[in-house]
Amino acid sequence: MMKSPLKECDQVHIDDVSSDDNGQDLSNYNFRTDGFHAAATNASLCLATGVRGGVDWMRKLAFRYRAIKEIYNRYRNSVGGLLSPAKREQWIQLRMEIESLTDNWLTLVTKCLELINSRLVDHCFRTYAL
């Protein structure tokens, strides 16, 4: 879709450019033909029609980040939903192989992250609920 050109951009967070997003409906937006691309000669420079950092450039960058954020939010609890049934089966098989080769490392890491997240949520709730 649009991931490659974004690798070269220097935005720290996906919401950094949300103020440049005009809320345009992106369901028929063509990211491939809008003129936003990474410069082949300078890996640290992203270009679009217009000037880097200009209104047009920032709007196109914001569109890309919004599209990525929407995809993330839609599938963050169901990664398998991103894949075709065949690819999903391959992914599940690969996860099972990784689990067996790493003594259930993925399962343990997931449990650790869930515990950390629950503690953060509890802490934030106690801190800000008062």
* Digit-coded pLDDT (tens) for 69-121: 999 999 988 888 889 999 999 989 999 999 999 999 999 999 999 999 888 87
Residues 101 and 56 in one domain: no
Which domain range does residue 25 map to?
1-77
Q: Place 12 in a pLDDT band, splitting at 50, 70 and 90.
A: low
Residues 70 and 82 in one domain: no
pTM of the model: 0.59
Residues 71 and 86 in one domain: no
If one counts every other C-beta atom within 10 angstroms of the C-beta of residue 82, the result is 12
- Backbone phi, then psi, for 28, in 5-degree steps? -115, 10
Residues 15 and 59 in one domain: yes
Residues 99 and 129 in one domain: yes
Tell me: pLDDT of 15 over 90.
Answer: no
Tell me: pLDDT of 41 over 50.
Answer: no
Tokens linked to 120: 């953060």
If one counts every other C-beta atom within 10 angstroms of the C-beta of residue 47, the result is 17
**What is the domain count for the chain?**
2
